[in-house]
């Protein structure tokens, strides 16, 4: 397996250093060809080399499990954490053969998922428990303290329209209480309306900060996204979308011996189709997931993809803000150059392998 010469350290610092630039300059085409020769089978997988039959290696991550409790309040708190984490875990799958150095967007990081659970337990569940609607759900659910878990409670909520609506209202209300509010302030000689964060939102922000992923300052847009994680994502739709994208990726960029060759641009079109079927946030997270899971997708591919989501930079930042942040982080230019060189070496190795096997 080819690994990049500089890795993402635990600190998450991706700043470009003179040492990294020196390594990049020394990473010549001659070196790449030598690496390609030693790793011919891996590098040549984008060719039509016969005998390559295994699917792209993807490690899936399951949502955490929670034990039974004797208290409904405890099971309820677990359920409010389990459901969002089951959605986020979809975006945590990885390919062990695909090594990336860029900092992932927050939704793609298991570390964020853990911090998000802490926020839900500290800020959201206590607010929800004050609502009479939650106690109504608790009294209508038939459960066994010895065996019932968060998954059982969520299954009941999901399959009972009245309970689902009660929980939706309570959950949304707890998040909306954190939203920035408009206040009137005098700026110079003018009076303006500005958004101001509450003390609770200010206290929440540090709980989600980390050097291991990229998360902008939490404002109303982020709170909207967090709120949507309970009901507005369909895991079956996400999985079907992923299966399609994975298949088209292999057919166009990493074909197996039994697969038909897809036309150039098929993966882009497939991602655009999937994107339009999902919410904008789910769509851009899935596009970034493809980068972390499929070795032959590179930064240049992502940049071209964003051009389909807006006529100019401002339009794209409005439509795919987190993907644009990902592409604007420190070190992207150097990674883009390295990926370009690796792509050329991979193509040359693939051609050489085809000639050698004739």
Contact 20, 220 (CB under 8 A): no
* CB proximity list for 341: less than 8 A, separation 6 or greater: 27, 29, 32
Burial 289-321 (b: 16+ CB within 10 A, else e): bbbbbbbbbbbebbeebbeebeeeeeebbebbb
Sign of CA dihedral 250, 295, 242, 306: negative
DSSP for 264-316 reads: TTHHHHHHHHHHHHS-HHHHHHHHHHHHHH-TT--HHHHHHHHGGG-SSHHHH
How far apart CA 21 and CA 3 sit, in angstroms, is 17
The per-residue pLDDT string of the chain (358 residues; one tens digit each, 9 = 90 and over) reads 333 333 333 334 444 444 443 334 344 434 434 434 434 344 444 434 444 556 678 999 999 999 999 999 999 999 999 999 999 999 999 999 898 999 999 999 999 999 999 999 999 999 999 999 999 999 999 999 999 999 999 999 999 999 999 999 999 999 999 999 999 887 778 888 889 999 999 999 999 999 999 999 999 999 999 999 999 999 999 999 999 999 999 888 776 555 667 677 789 999 999 999 999 999 999 999 999 999 999 999 999 999 999 999 999 999 999 999 999 999 999 999 999 998 888 778 878 877 887 7
CB atoms within 10 A of CB 82: 21
Spans of all domains in the chain:
19-58+234-325+341-356, 72-228
Alpha-carbon distances, residue 283 vs 117, 197, 292, 343 (angstroms):
23, 28, 15, 25
CB atoms within 10 A of CB 240: 13
How far apart CA 301 and CA 295 sit, in angstroms, is 12
Alpha-carbon distances, residue 65 vs 5, 328, 336 (angstroms):
37, 36, 39
């Amino acid at each position: 397996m080819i690994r990049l010469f500089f890795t993402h350290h635990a600190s998450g610092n991706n700043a470009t250093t003179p040492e990294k630039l020196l390594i990049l300059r020394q990473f010549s085409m001659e070196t790449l060809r030598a690496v390609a020769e030693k790793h011919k089978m891996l590098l040549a997988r984008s060719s039509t080399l016969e005998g390559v039959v295994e699917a792209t290696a993807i490690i899936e991550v399951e949502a955490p499990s929670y034990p039974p409790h004797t208290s409904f309040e405890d099971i309820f708190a677990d359920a409010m954490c389990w459901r969002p984490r089951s959605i986020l875990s979809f975006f945590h799958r990885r390919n062990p053969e695909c090594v990336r150095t860029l900092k992932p967007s927050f939704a793609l990081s298991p570390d964020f998922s853990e911090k998000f659970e802490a926020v839900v337990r500290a800020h959201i569940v206590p607010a929800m428990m004050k609502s009479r609607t939650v106690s109504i759900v608790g009294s209508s659910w038939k459960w066994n303290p010895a065996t019932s878990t968060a998954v059982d409670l969520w299954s009941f909520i999901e399959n009972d329209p009245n309970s689902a609506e009660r929980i939706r209202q309570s959950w949304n209300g707890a998040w909306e209480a954190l939203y920035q509010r408009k206040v009137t302030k005098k700026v110079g000689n003018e009076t303006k309306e500005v958004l101001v964060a509450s003390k609770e939102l200010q206290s929440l922000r540090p709980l989600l900060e980390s050097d291991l992923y990229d998360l902008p300052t939490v404002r109303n847009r982020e709170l909207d996204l967090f709120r949507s994680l309970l009901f507005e994502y369909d895991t079956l739709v996400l999985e079907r979308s992923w299966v399609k994208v994975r298949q088209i990726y292999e057919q166009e960029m990493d074909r197996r011996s039994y697969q038909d060759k897809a036309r150039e641009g098929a993966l882009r079109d497939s991602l655009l189709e999937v994107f339009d079927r999902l919410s904008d946030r789910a769509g851009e997270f899935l596009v970034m997931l493809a980068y972390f899971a499929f070795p032959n997708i590179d930064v240049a591919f992502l940049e071209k993809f964003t051009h389909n989501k807006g006529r100019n930079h401002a339009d794209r930042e409005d439509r795919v803000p987190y993907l644009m942040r990902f592409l604007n982080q420190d070190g992207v230019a150097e990674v883009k150059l390295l990926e370009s060189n690796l792509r050329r070496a991979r193509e040359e190795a693939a051609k050489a392998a085809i000639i050698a096997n004739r």
